[in-house]
């Protein structure tokens, strides 16, 4: 059974990163780590998409993001980033998406992975530069995500 975090404690904690991680773990368990998004509210989904992006980019860059299941929601993640006010990060993700034919990332992971293999020689050069831009954190994603949760607290 998923343990519900004490939301007020998390939102008022000075350890923003710790709060983000705890919320992410809670939401991940709630939706069986992306296998059943129907169990999430819309704000929970947006939060989770943002965390998936950040986790994957920090672990292996855009190539890894697109090859893993988190890439299923690449287009929705543009919207989730904009919803929290992370426009610079949304722009970085859009430029990464633009490397795909017709600027469309396939929802199907097998199809997407095959496409990444076809485009990665040229795309990796662009993606690696975008990885570096992402790491600069021009948008304070932790603070923006916490503020978003505060605004939609009743849906978390």
Return the pLDDT at 3: 56
Q: Where are the domains of the chain?
A: 7-155
CB 57 within 8 A of CB 131: yes
In the numeric block, which tokens belong to residue 108?
A: 């199907």
Of residues 52, 7, 31, the one with CA closest to residue 148: 7
What's the average pLDDT block by block, 10 residues per block, for the chain (156 residues)? 74 92 95 95 97 97 97 98 98 98 97 97 97 98 96 94
User: Would you identify the CATH topology of the domain 7-155?
Assistant: A middle domain of Talin 1 (1.20.1420)
Return the pLDDT at 83: 98
Return the pLDDT at 4: 62
Return the pLDDT at 29: 95
Return the pLDDT at 35: 93
């Amino acid at each position: 059974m998923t343990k519900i975090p004490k939301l007020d404690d998390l939102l008022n904690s000075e350890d923003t990163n710790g709060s983000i991680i705890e919320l992410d773990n809670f939401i991940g368990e709630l939706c069986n780590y992306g296998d059943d998004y129907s169990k999430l509210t819309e704000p929970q989904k947006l939060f989770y998409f943002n965390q998936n992006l950040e986790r994957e980019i920090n672990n292996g860059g855009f190539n890894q993001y697109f090859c893993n299941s988190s890439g299923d929601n690449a287009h929705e993640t543009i919207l989730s980033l904009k919803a929290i006010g992370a426009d610079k990060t949304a722009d970085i993700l859009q430029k990464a998406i633009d490397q795909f034919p017709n600027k469309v990332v396939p929802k199907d992971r097998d199809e997407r992975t095959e496409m990444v293999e076809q485009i990665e020689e040229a795309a990796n050069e662009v993606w690696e530069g975008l990885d570096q831009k992402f790491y600069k954190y021009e948008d304070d994603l932790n603070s923006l995500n916490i503020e978003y949760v505060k605004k939609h607290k009743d849906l978390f």
